[in-house]
Structure 1
Amino acid sequence: MKLSVLDQSVISKNLNAGITLQNTIKLAKRTEELGYTRFWVAEHHNSNGIAGTSPEILISSVAAQTNRIRIGSGGVLLPQYSPFKIAENFKVLEALYPNRLDLGIGRSPGGSTPTRLALTDGIRKSLNEFPHQVTSLQEYLTDTPPNHEVQAYPFVETRPEIWMLGVSQRGARLAAEKGTAFTYGHFINPISGSIAMKHYQENFQSSSFLTNPQANVCVFVVCAPTQEEAEEMAISQDLWLLAVEKGKDIFILSKEEAKRVKLSEEDKEIVRKNRKRAIIGTPEKVKEELFRLKEYYQTEEFMIITNIYDFEEKLQSYTLLAEAVL
C-alpha cells in the first residue's frame, strides 16, 4: 500500500497564516522522510480559517524544500480559470522540478456565487464547460494547443501527471474518458465510492498522459498511540467540520476548548455522520481500516488528510501511520 498526503493548510486558533504555511512545508519534509508518495496542497477561497488559497505558489515552496516526494494540487479549481494559464503555471513548475509534479484538477465552483464571480472577474462561466476545459488543458500541456496561434511555454521534456478529483461517478466517468488519473474524495462523500472507482477502472481510455488507470482515495485519519488519545485529538477535527458545514469561522479549536463546546442533538448527529468520512484510532486500527477500504475501492494508494489543532500531534499521527503501514 502507498500513502500520500493532502494538506489544506487549515489555521489553528491563535496561530496565523504564516505559521500555518510553514507547518505545511514542515509536514511535507517529514512525510517525505517517512516514505509517503505524494504531498498535495488544496485551494480554498473566502475562508478565513484556511491559508491555502494559491496551490501553485505553495507547490513551488514545498517542492524547493523537498527532494523526492511528488508535489501537487488537490486541486486547482479549473472552472474558474483559463486552461492556458494553468498549463503555463505547471509547465514552469515542471521545468523547475521535473518528474515530481501532480496537477490535480477539480470541478468545484470554488465557493459562493460572489466568491466565484470574484475569481472570474465577474464573468459567469458555466460548469458544463469543464470537460472542454480539461481537453484544452491537456492540449496545451502536450504542445498541441486548440488555437495554433497560442502556445503554452516554456517547452519542457517532461509533463506533470493530471489527476481528476471527484466525489461521484460523474468525475470518475470524465477521468476515464480523458485518460487521466483519478482521486476519489472519501473524506467528502463516503457513500457509493466503490461504484465510481469501478466505473473508472472498467472504462478507462488510455491517453498520451496515462496508458493504464491510476487511482487513489482520500480519507481523514487521526492516529495516536491509544484509542482514547485519538478520539480526544479528533474532537478538534469534528468541530472544524461542523463549522465548515454551517459556514462559520473555521479555525481549528484546541482539544480543551473543543471539549467545552455545547452541541445540540442535531450537531451531535452531524458529527456522528461525519465520522464515516474518517478513520480514528491506534496504528493497528487505522491500518486495519485502510486495508478494508483497499478492498472496497480496489486501490493501492490512500491520501491522508489530518485536520487537528496541535501540529506536533499531527506529525505524530502521520508518523505512527507510516510506521504501521509502510
Structure 2
Amino acid sequence: MIPFSILDLSPITDGGSVAQSLENSRRFAIAAEENAYKRFWLAEHHGMKGIASAATSLVISHVASATKNIRVGSGGIMLPNHSPLVIAEQFGTLAALYPGRIDLGLGRAPGTDMRTAQALRRNMEASANNFPNDVVELQALLGPASEEQKIIAVPGADSNVPIWLLGSSHFSAHLAGMLGLPFAFASHFAPDMLLSALEIYRERFTPSPQLDRPHVMVGVMGVAADTDEEANYLFTSMQQSFVALRRNARGRFPPPVKSMEGRWTTDEKIFVDHAMTYAVVGGLETIHRKTATFLEQTKADELIISMPIFDMEARLRSLTLFAEAQRDLATTV
C-alpha cells in the first residue's frame, strides 16, 4: 500500500487566530495518526497573514507532542534562511524529544517575498548559491562526529535525522540523486517539471548511507467531500488564495464561495487551473480515480496531500475520505 501523508500549512482563516490555527494543526495531526497516515509535515513560510508555521521547528514539536507514532517533520525548512548548525541543533533536539519520528525536508526557496527574505538571510546571493554545500554540511552535523570535526551540533550529532530534498524544478532532482537522498516534488503547485524531474532523479541516483535506491514522494492539493459538488465548493478557498497570491495581496485564508465567477480574470483562472493541474478534488469515487491515475503516472513511492479547506470539520472529513480511498486503492491495485 502506497503511504499517504499530510502537508499542513497551519492556515490562519478569516476570522480566526494564530492560536486557533496551531490548535487545528494539532487536531489534524491526531486525526492523521488515527487514520494511519505515515507523515505529518509542516512548511516554513514567512510574512504571510494566512500561514502560522513560520517557526516550523516549534510547530513540529507542538504536533509531535500530541501524537505517538506518526512521523512529523518539515515540508520544508528553507535552508538558505538559516545556518546549517542552527537547523542541526533544532532537529537534533526534536529527535531527542521524539525518537525515530522526525523528518527534515529541505528547500532552497525563500518561502516569502524578497524583502522579508532579505531580513531573514541578510546575504541573499551567498545563501542561494551555497545550498548544496549547506546540505552536505548539515548532513555532517547530524551524523556521527569525527575526531577531526571542529564544530559539533549538541544536540544534533549522531541523531541521523533523515534528510529529504524538496523541489519544484530539476535543480533539487539532480542534487537529491547525486547525494542519494529521498526526493519530494511540489506538484501540488508546480506541475510543469514533475515527470522530467522524477526521471532525472531516478537516472542520477547514487546509493548513500541513508538510501540504497531512489525514493520519490509527490504532492497534490486534495479536497474530498461527500459529493463532487461540495468538494468543488470547498476548493474555491484555495482558488481565491492563489488569485490573491498572483495579485500580491496575501491575506488570511478565505471561506469558500458558491462561484468564482467575477472573482478572477480569464488570465488568473488559467494561471490557477494550471497550477492546480494535479489537484484531486471530489467525492470518494472521484478522488479514488484521480489518485490512482496520478500514482500510476508518477510511479511514486509516497503521496503527500495538502488539504486547503476553510472549515476544520470539513478538513477532517476530507482526511478521512482520502484514508478510505487509500484503503480502496490497496485492494484494487
TM range (shorter): over 0.9
1:102 paired to 2:120: no
Q: CA deviation at 1:237?
A: 1.2
Q: CA deviation at 1:258?
A: 6.9
CA distance in 1 between counterparts of 2:220 and 2:116 reads: 27
Q: CA deviation at 1:264?
A: 2.6
Residue aligned with 2:130, SS: helix
2:81/2:127 contact within 8 Å kept:
no
2:76 aligned partner: 75
CA gap 1:315/1:36 in 2 versus in 1, 3 angstroms: same
CA gap 1:15/1:41 in 2 versus in 1, 3 angstroms: same
1:25/1:65 contact within 8 Å kept:
yes
1:27/1:315 contact within 8 Å kept:
yes
Q: CA deviation at 1:223?
A: 0.6
1:104/1:163 contact within 8 Å kept:
yes
1:179 aligned partner: 180
Q: CA deviation at 1:123?
A: 6.6
Residue aligned with 2:229, SS: helix
1:230 aligned partner: 231
1:13/1:252 contact within 8 Å kept:
yes
Q: CA deviation at 1:263?
A: 2.8
CA distance in 1 between counterparts of 2:55 and 2:262 reads: 32
1:238/1:274 contact within 8 Å kept:
no
Identify the range of structure 1 (86-95 vs 157-166) with the bigger mean alpha-carbon deviation: 157-166
Identify the range of structure 1 (134-143 vs 293-302) with the bigger mean alpha-carbon deviation: 293-302
Identify the range of structure 1 (271-280 vs 252-261) with the bigger mean alpha-carbon deviation: 252-261
CA gap 1:255/1:155 in 2 versus in 1, 3 angstroms: closer
2:4 aligned partner: 3
2:21/2:52 contact within 8 Å kept:
yes
1:317 aligned partner: 318
Structure 1 moving runs of 4+ over 6 Å: none
CA distance in 1 between counterparts of 2:207 and 2:152 reads: 24
CA distance in 2 between counterparts of 1:212 and 1:281 reads: 34
Q: CA deviation at 1:124?
A: 5.1
1:217 paired to 2:218: yes
1:206 paired to 2:203: no
Gaps of 5+ in 1: none
Q: CA deviation at 1:211?
A: 2.2
Q: CA deviation at 1:304?
A: 0.4
1:239-250 to structure 2, matched below 5 A, reads 239-250=240-251
CA distance in 1 between counterparts of 2:109 and 2:269 reads: 28
Identify the range of structure 1 (52-61 vs 137-146) with the bigger mean alpha-carbon deviation: 137-146
CA distance in 1 between counterparts of 2:85 and 2:101 reads: 21
CA distance in 2 between counterparts of 1:111 and 1:136 reads: 24
Identify the range of structure 1 (3-12 vs 248-257) with the bigger mean alpha-carbon deviation: 248-257
1:90/1:103 contact within 8 Å kept:
yes
Partner letter of residue 55 of structure 2? Answer: S
CA gap 1:59/1:146 in 2 versus in 1, 3 angstroms: farther
CA distance in 1 between counterparts of 2:84 and 2:130 reads: 11
2:168/2:193 contact within 8 Å kept:
no
CA gap 1:158/1:129 in 2 versus in 1, 3 angstroms: closer
1:253/1:309 contact within 8 Å kept:
yes
**Alignment root-mean-square deviation, CA:** 2.0
Residue aligned with 2:62, SS: helix
1:135 aligned partner: 136
1:12 aligned partner: 13
1:221/1:306 contact within 8 Å kept:
yes
CA distance in 2 between counterparts of 1:148 and 1:49 reads: 42
Identify the range of structure 1 (14-23 vs 254-263) with the bigger mean alpha-carbon deviation: 254-263
1:37 aligned partner: 38
Partner letter of residue 54 of structure 1? Answer: A
CA distance in 2 between counterparts of 1:206 and 1:112 reads: 36
Identify the range of structure 1 (142-151 vs 67-76) with the bigger mean alpha-carbon deviation: 142-151
Residue aligned with 1:72, SS: strand
Residue aligned with 1:125, SS: helix
Identity of aligned residues (%): 34
CA gap 1:311/1:124 in 2 versus in 1, 3 angstroms: same
1:284 aligned partner: 285
Partner letter of residue 19 of structure 2? Answer: G
CA distance in 2 between counterparts of 1:37 and 1:58 reads: 18
1:295-314 to structure 2, matched below 5 A, reads 295-314=296-315
Cα displacement string for residues 40-96 of structure 1 (whole angstroms, at most 9, x for unaligned residues): 001001111111101100111111110010000011110121111111111111111
Q: CA deviation at 1:301?
A: 1.1
Gaps of 5+ in 2: 328-333
Cα displacement string for residues 145-193 of structure 1 (whole angstroms, at most 9, x for unaligned residues): 7982211113666421101001112111100111111101101211231
CA distance in 2 between counterparts of 1:145 and 1:112 reads: 39
Partner letter of residue 210 of structure 2? Answer: F
2:176/2:182 contact within 8 Å kept:
yes
Return the TM-score normalized by structure 1. 0.94
